[in-house]
Amino acid sequence: MQVTFVGAGYVGLTSAAIFADLGHKVWVLDVDERKIRTIRSGKEPFYEPGLGERIKRTVESARLIPSTSYKEAIPEAVATFICVGTPSKENGETNLSYVFSAAGEIGKNLGEHYTVVVVKSTVPPGTTDRVGEMIEKLGKRRGIDFDVVNSPEFLAEGSAVKDTVNPSRIVLGVDSEKPIPVLRELFKSFKDVPTLICDIKSAELIKYASNSFLATKVSFINEISLIAEKFGADVTRVAEGMGLDDRIGSKFLKAGLGYGGSCFPKDVASLLFVSNHAGYDFGILQAATKVNCEQRKRFVGKIKEKLEDLKDKKIAILGLAFKPESGDMRKAVSAEIIRSLLNEGAQVSVYDPAAMENAKKEDFAEDIEFSNDAYAALKGADCLALVTEWKEFAELDWKKVRRLMRGNLIADGRNFYDPVDLRESGFEYVGIGRN
C-alpha cells in the first residue's frame, strides 16, 4: 500500500519508517526542510534508540520517501496519517492549528480514488469530525471519496520503535464500515495485537484517559512517598507490595520527581480544559497536577535543608531529558529544578548523554555549566542531584566521585541508588520517601 505520514516527529517518523520496513511505499511529509534533508541523508533528526538504522535502510531502498510537498505525498496515498504536534496553550487548551493546517492541505491534494485519512495526533473529542468537515469542504468541487477516522498512538519516547513494532493495542475510531477493510489491510502485520473498533469520539478520549490515569498513578505514589517519610517507611517497598496486586500493577508506581515530557502534562491539561468547558470539575486531575508541581519544589527543598544555604553552592545535575533514552527537553523536570536552584543563588553544572544540545536552547543555558561527562560535572560539587535515571549513572566510580566532589550529598530524585551502599562509601543520601 502507498501510505503518507504528515509530521516527521516521534510518532510520524517512527511509524513511517516501520511501515516502510514492512514493505509499504511510505511518504513522510514535514514542512521543516532541515528535518527532511536530514532524513533524506538516512539519518534521524532526533535521538530515539533503534530509529536511525531503520531510516537508513528504508531511505536507501526507496521505500521511505521524505518530502516537504503535499502535492507529491498525498494524491496517490491510500491512507494518510495526520501525526502533527498538538501543544498546549497557556490556558491548557489544545492548539489544533497544525492539525487543521494539515487537514486543509490534505483536502486540497487528495487523489480521485477512495482515501482513508487517519488522525493519529492526540486531539480532544470532536476534532476528527472537524477535520472531516474541512476536507469535505475543500474537496467537494472534485467529488472526493474519503473517510476520516481516529487511531491514537500509544508509543513512548525512548521506546518508540519497540512500541510501534509491538503495540499494546490498536484503537480504530470509525463512524462507518467503509474504511475498516483498508485499515485491516494496513494493520494486518499486527494480527496478534488486541484491536478495538469503536466510535470516533471514544477513540479520541481513550488516549486522554490513558495518559491522565497514568499521570494520576505517578502523583498518587508521590503522595504515598510523603506519608512514608513521615512514618519512617520505604516507599520503594510499599510500591513493590502494591504492584504485586495484578489489579494495580507495578508500572508507573515509582516515586520520584513526577511526570514531564511532551505528552502527560499537555494531555492532562487538555482533559482538564475540555472537562471544564463541558461544565465538569475534574477534581482528581486537578489534585494530580498540583502534586506533580509540588514534588519538584520539595526536591529542591530537601537539598536546601541539607546544605542549609544554596547561595554559591555547586549542584551537579545528572540527567536533563524528561526520561532516559530520550533527548527531549519538553516539559522536562530538570528545567524546573535548574531554575529553582539558580533563583536560590546556586551554581549549576549539568550533564546528559543525549539532551545537551536541546538544553542549550533553554532560557537558563547561559547561567549554567555544560559538562562533557558526569565526572566533569561533579568536580567541586557540593551535591549530586540525580534527575534522569540513565543507566550510565548507575555505573559511576564512587571513589572517584567522592574525590572529585567538594561535598558529599547525593540527592536521588528517582530512588535510583542504594542508600546503604552510598552511605558506606561516605556519602549523605537523600531520596524520595525512603527511610
**Beta-bridge partners for 197:** 172
- Measured distance CA(82)–CA(160) in Å, rounded: 17
Laid out side by side, the sheet with 314-318 consists of: 369-370, 347-351, 314-318, 383-386, 409-412, 428-430
Of 334, 332, 335, 327, nearest to 387 (Cα)? 334
> Catalytic annotation on 263?
yes
Candidates 83, 198, 263, 383; catalytic one: 263
- How many CB atoms lie under 10 A from the CB of residue 76? 14
Residue 51 near residue 19, CB atoms below 8 Å: no
| Strand 347-351 relative to strand 383-386, pairing | unpaired
Of 110, 121, 148, 111, nearest to 6 (Cα)? 121
- Measured distance CA(167)–CA(285) in Å, rounded: 26
First CA to last CA across the chain, in angstroms? Answer: 57
Of 347, 359, 408, 364, nearest to 383 (Cα)? 408
Q: Is 30 left (phi over 0), alpha (psi -120 to 50) or beta?
A: beta
- What radius of gyration do the chain's Cα atoms show? 24
The letter for the amino acid at 416 is F
Residues designated as active site: 263
